[in-house]
Structure 1
Amino acid sequence: MAEAPTRYFRQRLNSDPEAIGHMRRIAAAFLRNWRWDHVVDPAVLCVTELLSNARQHTVSGNCVLLMQASASCVRITVSDNSEALPVVCEPDWLTERGRGMFLLSKSVDAWGANLTPQGKDVWIEFWGRETAGPRDAVAGTTQPRWTA
């Protein structure tokens, strides 16, 4: 039996706070429609972090959100015009910043970044509906995959 085709959603946006809130709601709706309900909470957290980073680390805040879903995987990518790759470090829990990528890295099955002619893509993946369960946002382990 052939696997169902990949479904996708793609949106160009300026990652201002209002747009980020709107994209969170859209991402949740698409994931539920695609029957990936069990990843809605961590995925929305990751969408917020990726779009916030695009706003913070680019001059314009312009970016592209791409969501793709197949029967076995959801991939969410944010593309922007910065070549600065994300950094994950042990956060200082007493400061207001610096823990987003740490929490993202602990909430997904895989993540990474690719340099592109226009800047970079930062992507996350959630795998397999049938094996999915609640994710531990602190105890999980993933390592980024980098490509140039």
Structure 2
Amino acid sequence: MSVVAPITDEQGVYGWQLTARVRDIERWRAIAGAVVSRLGGDAEAVELARLGVSELLCNVVKHVAHDPRCRLKITREGERIRVSVNDRSSREPKAAVPDWSSESGRGLWLLGQMAEEWGYSPAGEGKSVWFRFPVAGQRAT
């Protein structure tokens, strides 16, 4: 795993500079789950964080292969948790209804169905893709 800076905990904010690699994604899923649990997330919040981190980092690997360095950030915002990945591509993420016969292309759509909200915005040389969900309790339908 290539981690440029260690985890930081600053009033409910955790962040890492990393190089997204397929072989490291399961480890980042585990780290995200542990952080969300530490921030008070219930089992559903932990699993959603794990799924979302996997999707966002896989997208960096797939779509930003020329420079897979990114920043993963997990923040508690009141009764919500926000997970974001800043990458070095300005390519807009797509979350259209997927072609169910295709082998890929469902990740962001599924994440959008499970998270309370998701989005992206320009950030520095690239963009930030994020999703937000409740710390505990019912998810948005």
With the shorter chain as reference, the TM-score category is 0.7 to 0.9
SS at match of 1:94: coil
2:62 to 46, 52, 56: 56
Q: What is the deviation of 1:34?
A: 1.4
Structure 2: which amino acid aligns with 1:62? R
Ranges in structure 2 where 5+ consecutive residues have no aligned partner: 1-9
Q: What is the deviation of 1:69?
A: 1.0
2:30 to 9, 20, 25: 25
1:36 to 34, 41, 45: 41
Q: Are residues 80 and 116 of structure 1, via their aligned partners in 2, closer, same or farther at CA, if it must alter by over 3 Å?
A: same
Ranges in structure 1 where 5+ consecutive residues have no aligned partner: 141-148
Counterpart position of 1:144: none
* Matched-pair contact (CA < 8 Å) for 1:55–1:62: no
Q: CA RMSD in A?
A: 1.7
Deviations 1:56-89 (A, max 9, x none): 1111211110000143110000000000111111
1:95 to 94, 97, 102: 102
TM-score w.r.t. the length of structure 2 is 0.85
In 2, distance between residues paired with 1:122 and 1:80?
Answer: 8
In 2, distance between residues paired with 1:127 and 1:6?
Answer: 18
Pairs aligned (count): 130
SS at match of 1:60: coil
In 2, distance between residues paired with 1:125 and 1:83?
Answer: 21
In 2, distance between residues paired with 1:70 and 1:123?
Answer: 13
* Matched-pair contact (CA < 8 Å) for 2:45–2:134: no
SS at match of 1:122: strand
In 1, distance between residues paired with 2:67 and 2:111?
Answer: 23
Q: Are residues 89 and 18 of structure 1, via their aligned partners in 2, closer, same or farther at CA, if it must alter by over 3 Å?
A: same
* Matched-pair contact (CA < 8 Å) for 2:52–2:111: yes
In 2, distance between residues paired with 1:11 and 1:117?
Answer: 16
Q: Give every structure 1 segment of 4 or more consecutive aligned residues whose post-TM-superposition deviation is greater than 3 Å.
A: none
Q: What is the deviation of 1:6?
A: 4.2
